[in-house]
Amino acid sequence: MYLSLLPLLTPRYWLWWGIVGILWCLTRLPYHWQLVVGQQLGRLAYWLAPRRRQIANININRCFPELKNAQQYQLVVKHFESLGMGLLEMLSAWWLSDTQLKPLEHIQGLEHLQTALAQEKGVILVSAHFTSLEIGNRFLTRHIALHAIYRQHENPLVEYFMKKNRERHAQKAIPREAVREMLRSLKQNKVLWLATDQNFGHKQSVFADFLVFQPQPIPPFHA
């Protein structure tokens, strides 16, 4: 671990280390205050990430064309607020102990997963990238061994923390390109978590439309 961390101590990463330190401190706040701070971080990201804001605007417009511009705007802002809260929840899932997180845990349907594992064919857990996904997975790892598929980050320091902290709790973190490793996990009767909205590229994947709207005829108006 020391050798892999050594190149990340150079000056080019000092700003990132400062950001990591601030975020670590924020995860020590009570959960309610984490949500409040996370909302404000999300609002800040709304203004600092124009490309992501544009993508969110396009998606909301396509999914909810019946809403007025002001309503669509409110949904986009709430989306960014959720992202900010999700960021602190994710870091809490990485850095807080089981004792600190246990009061937040509530799992339904665990018996279905255990029944599926009893068939010894492996299990694929399918979900989307909800903002509470990371902390939900942390709760689940308290009960089962989880192999999580993830997208490697282009920033080496962020990638270091993502992989290191996920593997502290999940049994294995598998890069999304490692299809053979995924199949190996299933053969070993492991639980493989997969987010279907991850972009795996055009090889060995299928792109499907999301929320395809069919125009409906407008009913006649009766006075």
Model confidence pLDDT, tens digit, residues 136-166: 888 988 888 889 888 888 888 888 888 888 8
pLDDT (0 to 100) of residue 200:
58
Model confidence pLDDT, tens digit, residues 188-201: 999 988 876 655 56
pLDDT (0 to 100) of residue 223:
39
- For CA atoms 155, 88, 18, 98, give the dihedral sign: negative
pLDDT (0 to 100) of residue 125:
87
Region 5-27: what's the mean pLDDT?
A: 91
Task: State the average pLDDT for the chain.
Answer: 85
Q: What is the DSSP string of the chain?
A: -HHHHGGGGSGGGHHHHHHHHHHHHHTTS-HHHHHHHHHHHHHHHHHH-HHHHHHHHHHHHHH-TTS-HHHHHHHHHHHHHHHHHHHHHHHHHHHS-HHHHGGG-----HHHHHHHHTTSS-EEEEE---TTHHHHHHHHHTTS-EEEEEPPPSSHHHHHHHHHHHHHHSSEEEETT-HHHHHHHHHTT-EEEEETTS---STT-----SSPPPP-PPPPP--
- CATH 3.50.50 residue spans of the chain: 111-201
Region 34-56: what's the mean pLDDT?
A: 94
Q: Which residues contact 83 (CB under 8 A, 6 or more apart)?
A: 42, 45, 131
- Between the CA of residue 181 and those of 148, 164, 219, what are the distances in Å? 11, 18, 54
Domain 111-201 sits in CATH 1.10.238: no
Model confidence pLDDT, tens digit, residues 73-122: 999 999 999 999 999 999 999 999 989 998 999 888 889 989 999 998 88
| Banded pLDDT at 133 (limits 50, 70, 90) | confident
The number of residues in the chain equals: 223
